[in-house]
Amino acid sequence: MTDLCLGRWGGIRAAAAMLALATIASATPVSARIMQNDPSIVRPDGPGPDALAGGGQASASARKSGGGDSLSIARRYLGSNPTGRSSLWCADFINLVERKAGREGVGSRLATAYLDYGTKVSKPQPGDIVVLTRRGGGHVGYFVGWDDGKIVLLSGNHGRKVAIGTYPTSRVLGYRRP
């Protein structure tokens, strides 16, 4: 239909322009475009970052309140990979969410770096950060709750996307309150 309206060469030019725009957009990592409030990023669950107070930053009271705000922000990305990375991006996702919540995060790509973040707690509450052990490294996510004695986390890089999963408590290295 486009070719009929634009002619043969007009349709080819339009397709080339669209390809150029897609190439430019993909040159910037998705996580950077999210942080810059790029409207081209589609969020499967909930509004974009503009819906947060302060143009993408949590309010001062939310920043002081612990991890509950982080959990609500993290839920917006369920089913997606907002980091654009193909492997080992669970800590990248937590860093992204913590920045959205108005906190620094650890700035490291290592999940275990979160063992020194925030305040150590013994009984996690929803939104607290949980660091797990895994063969060859660690895993990090937000505490959601308990399921039959197992810990339920919302984390990045769970099946190559942001998802909710259950883990045995024997894998827990620590609980941290942001």
Residue 172, φ and ψ in degrees, nearest 5: -70, 125
**Structural domains of the chain sorted by starting position, each given as residue range(s) with its CATH number in brackets:** 1-41 (no CATH), 45-177 (3.90.1720.10)
Q: What is the pLDDT of residue 8?
A: 52
Give residue 136's pLDDT: 86
Structure tokens at 19: 């390809």
Q: What are 32-91's pLDDT values in tens digits?
A: 444 444 433 333 333 333 333 333 333 333 334 456 689 999 999 999 999 999 889 999
Nearest CA to 71 out of 170, 174, 164 is that of 164
- DSSP-based three-state secondary structure for 154: strand
- According to DSSP H, which parts of the chain are helical? 2-27, 30-35, 53-56, 60-63, 68-75, 90-100
| 44, amino acid identity | P
Q: What is the pLDDT of residues 151-162, one digit of tens each?
A: 999 999 998 999
pLDDT tier at 141 (50, 70, 90 boundaries)?
A: very high
Sheet (strand 150-155) strand order: 119-121, 172-177, 129-134, 137-147, 150-155, 163-167
Residue 94: band (very low, low, confident or very high) from pLDDT cuts 50, 70, 90: very high
pTM over 0.75: no
The Cα angle at residue 77 between residues 27 and 156, in degrees rounded to 5? 85
Name, of 18-22, 36-40, 49-53, 139-143, the range with top average pLDDT: 139-143
